[in-house]
Amino acid sequence: MSGHLEVLDMKHNNLSGTLPTTFSIGSALRSVNLNGNKLEGKIPRSLENCQRLEVLDLGDNLLNDTFPMWLGTLPALRVLSLRLNKLHGPIRTSGSESMIHSKYCGSLIALHVLNLSHNGLQGPIPQSFGSLSSVESLDLSGNHLVGEIPAQFASLTSFEVLNLSYNHLEGCIPQGNQFHTFENNSYEGNDGLRGFPLSKGCGNDGHDSASEETYARSALERTVEELGHKIMMARRKKQRRQRNYRRKK
């Protein structure tokens, strides 16, 4: 696919089969929208030839692939939506190397919108997602992601939308910057998460709400015990005074 075509918009056209694999070097494409079709197979590697591409929307199809980390070679990419497909595996390259810190994916820091929701992605959210300094909307909901929300997220100031619901995340929700603007529905379906705005606390001392409740109960028991001890000592003191008084008489 070549020539001077800048916009390819064939969303909701009941297209089937696989994506074209002939995106050529020098392509003028700036926007590809094939959302809402029945396309299968893998995301074609030849898309990396589209160096002017700003929008890639392949959502709501039947694509069966791992996360295409090589899309980071696209310097102008601002919007990436792969929602409602069959993506699987961890969001990384190879080994323990994170996608953004590899020679393939450095340019993803220019993304404004990233939607990978409702796939089969697994493993932790890469800590390097905290380098997505321009991201305004991040949707990772409806996957099988585990572990904690990267603390680096708290340093992001462009966030307007965050959806991490219905995964298997745990630990404390980062606080600061945009995080005070997100509501419960950003995190629902993750039973292990705690901290604002959820009802499960995440205190500064590391106690969760259950630990804090236990601590409060223990403190109350100690107070009652001390009070009982004081009452008993006061009673004994009074009894001693009464005995001394009788002896003097």
For 75-91, how does the pLDDT look when each residue is reduced to its tens digit (9 = 90+)?
999 999 999 999 999 98
Q: Can you tell me which residue has the tokens 């005070």? A: 180
pTM of the model: 0.77
Exposure class string for 191-217: b at 16+ Cβ within 10 A, else e: eebbbeebeebbeeeeeeeeeeeeeee
Nearest-CA neighbor of 138 among 169, 110, 105, 160? 160
Tell me, what amino acid is at 39? Answer: L
Contacts of 220 (CB under 8 A, 6+ apart): none
Q: What are the extents of the domains in the chain?
A: 7-202, 204-249
- Do strands 120-124 and 79-81 pair parallel, antiparallel, or not at all (unpaired)? unpaired
3-class state of residue 57 by DSSP: strand
For 140-175, how does the pLDDT look when each residue is reduced to its tens digit (9 = 90+)?
999 999 999 999 999 888 999 999 999 999 999 999
Nearest-CA neighbor of 125 among 65, 82, 170? 170
Q: What is the per-residue pLDDT for 17?
A: 96
Between CA 151 and CA 158, with CA 156 as vertex, the angle to 5 degrees is 150
CATH number of the structural domain 7-202: 3.80.10.10
Of residues 198 and 214, the one with the higher pLDDT is: 198
Q: How far is CA 122 from the centre of its chain?
A: 12
Q: How many whole angstroms separate alpha carbon 94 and alpha carbon 79?
A: 24
